[in-house]
Amino acid sequence: MGISVVVTSFFKALGQMGDRRFRRVLLLGVGLTFALLVAAYVAFLAFLNWIGAAETVQELIGEVTWLPDLITWTSFFVMIALSVFLMVPVASAITSMFLDEVAQAVEDRHYPNLPPVDPVPFWDAVRDTVNFLGVLITANLLALVLYVFFPPLALFIFWGMNGFLLGREYFQLAAMRRIGREGAKALRKKHMGTIWLAGTLMAMPLSIPLVNLLIPILGAATFTHLYHQIGDR
pLDDT of residue 83: 66
Cα dist from 197 to 71, 103, 182, 188, 201, whole Å: 37, 20, 22, 12, 6
- Three-state DSSP at 115 gives coil
Whole-model pTM: value is 0.79
> Which whole-number Å values give the CA distances from 164 to 3, 10, 17, 76, in the listed order?
15, 17, 26, 30
pLDDT, position 71: 46
Measuring CA to CA, which residue among 82, 97, 78, 81 is closest to residue 31? 97
pLDDT on residue 81:
62
Question: Per-residue pLDDT tens for 172-187?
Answer: 989 988 988 889 999 9
Distance CA 166, CA 169 (A): 5
Q: What is the pLDDT of residue 46?
A: 72
Report the alpha-carbon distance of residue 76 to residue 212 in Å, rounded. Answer: 15
| pLDDT score of 223 | 94
pLDDT confidence of residue 87:
75
How many residues are present in the chain? Answer: 233
pLDDT at 216: 85
pLDDT digits (tens, 9 = 90+) for 147-157: 888 888 988 99
Block mean pLDDT (10 aa), the chain, length 233: 84 86 80 78 69 52 48 58 71 80 90 84 76 85 86 90 92 90 91 94 85 85 93 63
User: How far, in Å, are 29, 128, 140, 220 from residue 93 at the CA level?
Assistant: 11, 10, 15, 12
As a whole number of angstroms, the distance between CA 100 and CA 49 comes to 37
pLDDT of the residue at 49: 66
Q: Break the chain into its structural domains and give their ranges.
A: 3-37+84-230
Give the dihedral sign, CA 227/228/231/233.
negative
Q: How far is CA 54 from CA 35, 58, 63, 66, 137, in A?
A: 23, 6, 9, 12, 21
